[in-house]
């Protein structure tokens, strides 16, 4: 399905915001595999940006574009201030988290629990749109607890759309706010793709991106018949090479990466610069562990990086020595 008119960012494929995973080092690594896939930051709370040094959370490498900043919060004025910061730093999109079910997020009254307050989410969106020309998008569930009917989902989306949101990234599972951990909330509530497909059919003027359980580009292609885009989460992190054919297969662009060893070579200058700035190697190499997932030598690659990333010596030699032997 073609992107909704006026939607400047190509959302055909994106990698989900994942706490402790999609930091700037992970994103730079993924960008060596795919140039077109939309990337998201980890969720950054408004408190972190307003009460700490923003650069710590917002700095990124220009090669990471297209890149979206995901915010967690529920106070319209605070979110507006953070949206201005996103403008200042040059992010391509500002996204509001209305999907995280963790106890910590709930205690701050944001994340998935905001699905019970569509008017407040609309106020937050309106406040952010008032200070930025970047797209302001919302990532949410299909429902929470007993508020999980299709009519309630449409009411939520309709209300937020009235405030100016044109892009909704829908995790096709409901969330139980009590009794399930965040991990269980990613696995136990059943996936309901049909609800997201129906949402797009009923609200064709909106851009609808589906998220939840996708592991292959073939699955992505099938979904694109019904929605505007697909977001992949943990599979893109644990098996990043699945993105290698995305630029050509999904975006119609020329593939720029021939093999995994080329990705490692491309990472070397970036790694050396980061180390010179005092960044420990393991903060970068931990994101690269899945590069050879499913390939001969994958275990040796993971073990070498895990066991030797803390040791002094030549980083280039370490990474090259860890490469599996060509088959």
Q: What is the pLDDT of residues 225-255, one digit of tens each?
A: 999 999 999 999 999 999 999 999 999 998 7
- Tell whether 163 and 277 lie within a shared domain: no
* In-domain check, residue 7: no
Residue 200's CB is within 10 A of a number of other CB atoms, namely 20
Q: How many CA atoms lie within 13 A of 275 on its CB side?
A: 18
**What is the domain range of residue 245?**
13-251
Confidence of residue 1 (pLDDT cuts 50, 70, 90): very low
Q: Taking the alpha carbons of 198, 7, 44, 268 in that order, is the dihedral positive or negative?
A: positive
Provide φ and ψ at 58, rounded to 5°.
Answer: -105, -20
- Tell whether 200 and 267 lie within a shared domain: no
CATH number of the domain that 267 lies in? 1.20.120.1460
- The C-alpha atoms of residue 13 and residue 111 are separated, in whole angstroms, by 23
- The C-alpha atoms of residue 33 and residue 19 are separated, in whole angstroms, by 21
Tell whether the model's pLDDT for residue 327 goes beyond 70: no
* In-domain check, residue 25: yes
Note the pTM of the prediction, 2 decimals. Answer: 0.94
Annotation marks residue 100 as catalytic: yes
List helix spans (H) across 2-66.
24-31, 46-51, 54-58
pLDDT of residue 189: 92
Averaged confidence pLDDT in the chain: 94
Tell whether the model's pLDDT for residue 180 goes beyond 70: yes
Angle between helices 24-31 and 260-276 (to 10 degrees): 150
Share of the chain above pLDDT 70, in %: 97
pLDDT of residue 107: 66
Q: What is the pLDDT of residues 7-55, one digit of tens each?
A: 589 999 999 999 999 999 999 999 999 999 999 999 999 999 999 899 9
Q: What is the pLDDT of residues 205-228, one digit of tens each?
A: 999 999 999 999 999 999 999 999
Q: Find the catalytic residue in 26, 82, 100, 165.
A: 100
* In-domain check, residue 3: no
Contact 140, 169 (CB under 8 A): yes
Domain count, the chain: 2
State the average pLDDT over residues 126-134. 97
State the average pLDDT over residues 76-87. 98
* In-domain check, residue 8: no
E strands, the chain, are 13-15, 38-45, 67-72, 93-98, 136-144, 167-175, 207-211, 229-232
State the average pLDDT over residues 298-314. 91
* In-domain check, residue 118: yes
Confidence of residue 171 (pLDDT cuts 50, 70, 90): very high
């Amino acid at each position: 399905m073609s992107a909704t008119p006026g939607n400047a960012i190509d959302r055909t494929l994106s990698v989900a915001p994942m706490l402790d995973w999609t930091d700037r080092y992970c994103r730079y690594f993924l960008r060596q595999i795919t140039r077109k896939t939309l990337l998201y930051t980890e969720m950054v709370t408004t408190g972190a940006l307003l009460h700490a040094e923003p650069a710590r959370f917002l700095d990124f490498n220009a090669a990471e574009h297209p890149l979206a900043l995901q915010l967690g919060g529920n106070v319209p004025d605070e979110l507006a201030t953070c949206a201005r910061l996103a403008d200042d730093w040059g992010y391509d999109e500002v996204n509001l988290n209305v999907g995280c079910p963790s106890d910590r997020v709930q205690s701050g009254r944001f994340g998935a629990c905001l699905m019970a307050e569509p008017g407040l989410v609309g106020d937050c969106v309106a406040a952010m749109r008032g200070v930025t020309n970047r797209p302001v998008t919302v990532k949410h569930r299909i429902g929470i607890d007993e508020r999980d009917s299709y009519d309630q989902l449409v009411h939520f989306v309709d209300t937020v759309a009235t405030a100016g949101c044109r892009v909704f990234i829908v995790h096709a599972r409901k969330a139980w706010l009590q009794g399930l951990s965040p991990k269980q909330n990613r696995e136990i509530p059943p996936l309901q793709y049909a609800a997201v497909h129906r949402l797009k059919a009923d609200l064709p003027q909106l851009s609808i991106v589906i998220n939840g359980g996708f592991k292959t580009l073939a699955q992505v292609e099938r979904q694109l018949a019904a929605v505007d885009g697909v977001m992949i989460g943990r599979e893109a992190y644990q098996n990043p090479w699945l993105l290698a054919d995305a630029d050509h297969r999904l975006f119609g662009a020329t593939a720029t990466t021939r093999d995994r060893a080329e990705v490692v070579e491309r990472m070397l200058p970036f790694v050396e610069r980061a180390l010179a700035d005092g960044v420990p190697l393991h903060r970068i190499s931990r994101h690269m562990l899945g590069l050879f997932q499913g390939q001969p030598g994958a275990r040796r690659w993971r073990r070498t990086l895990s066991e030797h990333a803390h040791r002094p010596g030549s980083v280039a030699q370490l990474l090259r020595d860890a490469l599996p032997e060509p088959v």
